[in-house]
């Protein structure tokens, strides 16, 4: 089993975990989410596990990933997903087995048509009975009407005490890029057009990375099989917009910095949940750090007019404070939800934070060799964070799923000195000082996770 195989198995288990009960808690779903994290951890090992895989193993795994889309039939009224799975499986086999360009174009078109059919069969134009859709649609309409989109824009249930919900006016809980981007599409009647465009952008970013890495066949099969797009679009979860911006930025941050920075501004101005996905690349790349800081400054300038119009305290609560101050939800796909269901004490927030910090340290202690390692490590941090969060549903784990797709695409793309650079100077100085102190008493042994190879001192920063 290769690193790429492990990452694909991680994506399969994560997709099953999300789709078996549409992101809500079941024991099977939680078990598969933990297994997904385990396979992602295994994928960081450079050595193969078990005998070399046969040629049919990869197509079989990709078709197994596509098969998880059948689970939508348990949730959605338009039960067409056995048919869409059959079409997707045929498209995958056609793409992987027939090398002719026309056959491959036909395969991609067939897979795209299957996804579009799953969306179109279940989509009611301009309406979906969930607060996240009403908030976006009404906020976009408010902006079109010259009003502040952060005034109360919808009625919906809000948890006012643990397990106690009350119907109250709701404010838009997302960044201002959401109504800005969705306002033009509101004229067409449904803001989910933006979510479809975001899904296309993510697929394009994955394939661009795969083309550079020489993994186009494998990545294209995974993109065609990816099952979570239908749910993300239908429910209008904005994490798909955030991940479109992050995916485009991660692929283009070195080759096309201006386009990448604009994409990152769109991501930062949408929802803060996915920002944890920036930690590893921010740590390892000076170029990435520079662009993140520039994008953060631009995003702050975009936020200011909305914050002034709304009031800084209210705006902060709407966009960030609500996510921090909210009560835990014990129907979500988290460890604490399962502990509560079993009548056991939940994990304290400080302990959960410590576990996430330890996980982050263990992921960052060794510099990644490839984009695959970098993005798989990011997916591990994200998955562990959500497993220990106050709540995490379908849309949260979608972030980890996209990172795993990118990791599969970037499996063979090396992170040499031209692509990624040494750790932050402060960490490097601390590591050298620690090595010096240890060296005085115990030779010059390396400090695991901190010591840098000697040649890196002469490498230029990217």
Per-residue pLDDT of the chain (462 residues; tens, 9 = 90+): 788 999 999 999 999 999 999 999 999 999 999 999 999 999 998 776 666 667 778 899 999 999 999 999 999 988 899 999 999 999 999 999 898 999 999 999 999 999 999 999 999 999 998 889 999 999 999 999 999 999 988 877 777 677 777 888 888 999 999 999 999 999 888 999 999 999 999 999 999 999 999 999 999 999 999 999 999 999 999 999 999 999 999 999 988 999 999 999 999 999 877 789 999 999 988 889 999 999 999 999 999 999 999 999 999 988 888 878 888 899 999 999 999 999 999 999 999 999 999 999 999 988 888 999 999 999 999 999 999 999 999 999 999 999 999 999 998 888 755 555 555 555 555 556 656 666 654 444 433 333 333 333 333 333
Q: Please give the span between the terminal C-alpha atoms of the chain, in angstroms, as a whole number.
A: 33
CB 332 within 8 A of CB 25: yes
100 φψ region: left (φ > 0), alpha (ψ -120 to 50), beta (else)? beta
Residue 419 lies in a domain: no
Per the listing, tokens 């890495």 go with 213
Residue 145 belongs to some domain of the structure: yes
Residue 93, burial from CB neighbour count under 10 angstroms (0-12, 13-18, 19+): middle
Range of the domain at 246: 128-409
- Tokens matching residue 84: 């869409």
Residue 259, both tokens:
């386009």
Cα separation, 163 vs 159, in Å, equals 7
Does residue 189 sit within a domain?
yes
Q: pLDDT tens, 240-297?
A: 999 999 999 999 998 899 999 999 999 999 987 778 999 999 998 888 999 999 999 9
CA pair distance 115, 107, nearest whole angstrom: 13
- Give the span between the Cα atoms of 310 and 305, in whole angstroms: 9
94 falls within a domain: no
Backbone φ and ψ for 168, nearest 5 degrees, come out as: -140, 165
Residue 23 lies in a domain: no
Taken in order 45, 50, 51, 55, the sign of the CA dihedral is negative
Rounded to whole angstroms, how far apart are CA atoms 302 and 308? 11
List Cα–Cα distances, 420 to 3, 46, 370, in angstroms. Answer: 20, 19, 10
Query: Which contacts (CB < 8 Å, 24+ apart) does range 328-331 have?
Result: 328/162, 328/390, 328/391, 329/159, 329/390, 329/391, 330/25, 330/163, 331/24, 331/25
Quick check: is 73 in a domain? Answer: no
Chain centroid to CA 127: how far? 26
pTM for this predicted structure: 0.89
Question: CA–CA separation, 45 vs 320, rounded Å?
Answer: 36
234 in Cβ contact with 277 (< 8 Å): no
What is the rounded CA–CA span in Å between residue 143 and residue 161? Answer: 32
Containing 157, the helix (H) or strand (E) segment is strand 154-161
Is residue 379 included in any domain, yes or no? yes
Q: Cβ(237)–Cβ(363) under 8 Å?
A: no
Total structural domains in the chain? 1
Q: Could you tell me how many residues make up the chain?
A: 462
Q: How far apart are CA 442 and CA 415, in angstroms?
A: 32
Assess if residue 222 is contained within a domain: yes
Q: What single-letter DSSP state applies at residue 321? A: I
Report phi then psi at 361, rounded to 5.
Answer: -60, -45
- Give every CB contact of residue 453 below 8 A, 6+ residues apart in sequence: none
């Amino acid at each position: 089993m290769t690193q790429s195989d492990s990452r694909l198995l991680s994506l399969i288990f994560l997709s099953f975990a999300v789709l078996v009960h549409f992101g809500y808690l079941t024991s099977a779903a939680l078990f598969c989410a933990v297994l997904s994290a385990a396979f992602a951890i295994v994928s960081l090992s450079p050595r193969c596990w078990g005998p070399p895989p046969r040629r049919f193993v990869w197509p079989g795994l990709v078709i197994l990933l596509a098969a998880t889309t059948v689970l939508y039939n348990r949730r959605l009224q338009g039960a067409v997903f056995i048919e869409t799975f059959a079409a997707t499986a045929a498209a995958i086999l056609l793409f992987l087995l027939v090398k002719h360009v026309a056959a491959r174009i036909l395969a991609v078109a067939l897979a795209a048509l299957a996804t579009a059919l799953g969306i179109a069969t279940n989509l009611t134009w301009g309406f979906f009975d969930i607060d996240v859709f009403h908030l976006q649609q009404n906020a976009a309409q408010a902006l079109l009407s010259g009003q502040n989109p952060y005034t109360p824009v919808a009625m919906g249930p809000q948890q006012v005490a643990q397990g106690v919900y009350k119907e109250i006016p709701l404010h838009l809980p997302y960044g201002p890029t959401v109504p800005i981007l969705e306002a033009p599409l509101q004229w067409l009647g449904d803001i989910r057009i933006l979510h479809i465009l975001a899904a296309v952008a993510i697929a394009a970013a994955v394939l661009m990375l795969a083309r550079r890495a020489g993994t186009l066949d494998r990545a294209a099969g995974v993109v065609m099989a990816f099952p979570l797009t239908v749910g993300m679009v239908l429910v209008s979860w904005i994490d798909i917009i955030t991940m479109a911006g992050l995916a485009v930025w991660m692929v283009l941050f070195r080759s096309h910095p201006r386009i990448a920075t604009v994409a990152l501004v769109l991501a930062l101005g949408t929802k803060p949940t996915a920002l944890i996905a920036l930690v590893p690349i921010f740590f390892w790349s000076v170029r990435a750090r520079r662009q993140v800081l520039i994008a953060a400054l631009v995003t702050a300038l975009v936020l200011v007019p909305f914050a002034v119009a709304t009031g800084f305290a209210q705006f902060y609560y709407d966009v960030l404070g609500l996510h921090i101050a909210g009560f835990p939800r014990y129907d979500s796909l988290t460890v604490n939800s399962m502990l509560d269901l079993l009548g056991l004490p939940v994990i304290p927030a400080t302990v959960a934070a410590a576990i996430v910090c330890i996980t982050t340290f263990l992921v960052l202690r060794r510099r990644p060799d490839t984009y695959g390692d970098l993005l798989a490590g990011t997916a591990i941090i994200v998955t562990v964070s959500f497993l220990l969060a106050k709540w995490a549903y379908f849309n949260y784990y979608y972030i980890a799923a996209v990172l795993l797709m990118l990791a599969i695409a970037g499996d063979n793309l090396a992170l040499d000195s031209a692509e990624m650079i040494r750790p932050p100077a402060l960490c490097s100085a601390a590591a050298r000082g620690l090595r010096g102190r240890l060296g005085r008493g115990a030779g010059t042994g390396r400090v695991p996770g901190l010591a840098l190879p000697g040649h890196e001192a002469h490498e230029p920063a990217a």
